[in-house]
Amino acid sequence: MRKYDLVKDKVDSRDLMYGKRHVVESEILPKKIDLREKCSPVVDQGQLGSCTANAIVSGLREFMLLNDNRNHFERLSRLFLYWWERDLEGSVYRDSGASLRDGMKVLKNEGVCLEASWPYDIKTFENSPTEKELEEAKNYTISGYQRIKSIDEIKHALLIEHLVVFGITVYESFETVKTDGIVPVPKEGEKELGGHALCIVGYDDNFNNGSFIVRNSWGDSWGDKGYCYIPYSMFEYLMDIWTVKLGA
């Protein structure tokens, strides 16, 4: 069984709100956006509660890096971000999971080093970053991050090619996702398994009555080549939705 160790964000009135910085007009939003072809290959987090680091690093930040320079792309270190997340939360020596806000905060303040410097070997997740890795990470930061509160805000962020990371309350049916990638709406009385972080890379208003195109971190043999489709009707199950600040 996979780990569902997402830590829910604490309430913080200092959060920058996407809707206060962007005028989101529903009528300008296209019916479909799909940025999968611009993403790096899907990864597998394995038996480590690092879903936030996987969504933020291999999803959001590698997308930015890949599209800044498609001719020279290097993978970024998920374990570096996961270590810093746990450092902020006082759980460095435990596989405790982490919150998405802390992950975005680390990406802004510390950045992330290259995967070649700190490979994804889960046996090393307790290691501390070296001076070389700390210095290297400064090259891969973001200028800021914003909280998203609506479906239209998600669509608008994707329109300007900013991927969106989010948490979701996971129920047993999530583990039944087949190769069509469709995530079923939980049934009444279904067992809750925990929280999980993923990355939205697109949407389609006409697929399954409207769905987000979502990148998971369970390898490319899961779902539809590593991706799944979460219907808009499940928006109430989503939490802690973030994207990078414009110009990042």
Assess contact for 91 and 45: CB atoms under 8 A: no
Predicted confidence (pLDDT) per residue in 10-68, tens digit: 989 999 999 887 878 888 899 999 999 999 999 999 999 999 999 999 999 999 999 98
* Cα–chain center distance at 104: 10
Place of tokens 């999803």: 59
C-alpha–C-alpha distance, residues 55 and 225, integer Å: 16
Assess contact for 198 and 42: CB atoms under 8 A: no
C-alpha–C-alpha distance, residues 159 and 6, integer Å: 27
Predicted confidence (pLDDT) per residue in 109-138, tens digit: 999 999 999 999 999 999 999 999 999 999
Three-class secondary structure assignment of 1-56:
CCCCECCCCCCCCCCCEHHHHCCCCHHHCCCEEECHHHCCCCCECCCCCCHHHHHH
* Lookup: tokens for 67: 């599209």
- Residue 1 pLDDT > 80: no
HSE-CB at 244 with a 13 A cutoff on CA atoms is 25
Q: In this predicted structure, what is the pLDDT of residue 247?
A: 53
Higher pLDDT, 30 or 246: 30
C-alpha–C-alpha distance, residues 165 and 58, integer Å: 11
Q: How confident is the model at residue 246 (pLDDT cuts 50, 70, 90)?
A: low
Q: How confident is the model at residue 248 (pLDDT cuts 50, 70, 90)?
A: very low
Q: How confident is the model at residue 73 (pLDDT cuts 50, 70, 90)?
A: confident
Spatial neighbors of 218 by CB under 8 A, at least 6 apart, are 2, 44, 45, 226
* Rounded average pLDDT over 138-148: 96
Q: Indicate the pTM of the whole model.
A: 0.96
Domains of the chain and CATH, by start: 32-243 (3.90.70.10)
- Residues of the chain with pLDDT > 70, as a percent, come to 99
Which residue, 153, 149, 148, 154, is CA-closest to 213? 154
C-alpha–C-alpha distance, residues 64 and 165, integer Å: 13
C-alpha–C-alpha distance, residues 238 and 202, integer Å: 16
Q: In this predicted structure, what is the pLDDT of residue 98?
A: 98
* Rounded average pLDDT over 139-146: 96
**What are the φ and ψ backbone dihedral angles of 38, each rounded to 5 degrees?**
-95, 5
